[in-house]
Structure 1
Amino acid sequence: MDSDAARLLDAAEFAAQKHRDQRRKDPEATPFINHPIAVARILACEAGVTDIELLQAALLHDTVEDTDTTFAELEARFGGAVTGLVREVTDDKELPRAERKRLQVELAPGRSPRAKLLQLADKLHNLRDIARCPPAGWSPERVQEYFQWAAQVVSGLRGTSPALEAALERLWAERAAGPGLEPGPGVGTADVAQRDSQ
């Protein structure tokens, strides 16, 4: 399995198998695999990424966090570089949700450049999804809290991808234009899936 296409398809097949019984939290209950595919597509089509290891990691980025996949399993199949990227963006589910969210903000500036790209694309897709169709049971206030928290995470990822950062700026600007809504702190004009924990 030497070709880039084969490596990418192997990661897609692995992720699809691991996430096969999972759904997003939107009212449509869309298949969870849509999310990692969308993150990889954002990297390739909007950020111009051609790095196959990074695109593989995008497809695999939720496998350890949200399935029974282990890092050892990933390393045996996809190698250390891909596994390292997945490890960088994987939350420790043994920690309370609030602590996981705090750590995402705190650790963002120290991530590797490739992990920052992956995290930007991940946040961008989640925010687009939530803006389009909020998870079932989410109040407008909870949606806004997610947007504001995501803004804090993204502030630590700045200088990584002008294209993705501009896309995020547009999302916050659109959100700020809504009635009674404020943009996230430190982002845009003023300066959030199944991934409830993001």
Structure 2
Amino acid sequence: MKEWITVLKAADAAARWHVHQKRKGVAQEPYINHLLEVAMLVGDATDGKDTNLVVAALLHDAIEDQEVPREMIAEAFGEDVASLIEEVTDDKSLEKQERKRLQVAHASKKSNRARVIKLADKTSNLRTISTSPSPEWSVKRRLEYVAWAREVVVGLRGVNDRLEAEFDRAAAAAEQSVTPKL
């Protein structure tokens, strides 16, 4: 039971750390909605058996987006959580295209637990493309994102059938959201 209190503390930390961040879509949702969705996907896919993984899912963007020091995360939530977050964090000092290339190249080299977080993150992002795409994103850019996400997920497959099926549904829905109805 104590571990679920830690999950709630992580949700609180995520909400505080990302308080001013919004999703890029037209709905301008609070960013915490994305973090909660990723954590929910991870928790559901693992039947809630790995609370540290759920905590890491809640906090997966803290270092990358909010520059939360890794040491702060390790002190508050433990080394296991901090290591998982570090493993899924992109190096923002690199150009965007290089970061995207590295996600494809490194996907299959990640630990199974990190792969679950990445898969849930990509699923959530694709769901957003379907329901609340960024007004700055053209149809071409949305389709390119779906294609890139599929490339990344090639290296993530084999860790969780349920989550992979969720990703496949989200990718299909994102593509259908820009396809004219004939």
Q: Quick check: TM above 0.5? A: yes
Structure 1 CA distance for aligned equivalents of residues 177 and 6 of structure 2: 43
Q: Which residue identity does 1:112 align to in structure 2?
A: S
Contact 2:127–2:173 at 8 Å: present in 1 too?
no
Q: Which runs of 5+ in 1 are unaligned?
A: 182-198
1:9-158 paired onto structure 2 within 5 Å:
9-158=8-157
- The structure with the largest helix share of the pair is 2
* 1:99 Cα deviation after fit: 0.5
Aligned-residue RMSD, C-alpha = 1.8
Q: Deviations over 1:90-135 (max 9, x none)?
A: 0011100000000100000010010011111111011011111211
Q: 1:77 to 1:175 in 2, by over 3 A?
A: closer
After TM superposition, the score normalised by the length of structure 1 is 0.85
Identity of aligned residues (%): 41
Moved over 4 A (4+): 174-181
Give the C-alpha shift of residue 160 in structure 1: 0.7
Deviation at 1:79, TM superposition (A): 1.1
Return the alpha-carbon distance in structure 2 between the equivalents of residues 125 and 56 of structure 1.
16
Instruction: Give unpaired runs (5+ residues) of structure 2.
Output: none
Q: What does 1:146-185 correspond to in 2, within 5 Å?
A: 146-174=145-173
What secondary structure is seen at the aligned counterpart in 2 of 1:81? helix
> Which one-letter code corresponds to 2:29 in the other structure?
T
In the aligned structure 1, how far is the partner of 2:87 from the partner of 2:60?
A: 9
Counterpart Cα distance in 1 of 2:108 and 2:135: 32
User: Per-residue CA shift, 1:29-75, capped at 9, x if unaligned?
Assistant: 11011111110111122442420100000010000100030111111
* Number of aligned residues: 180
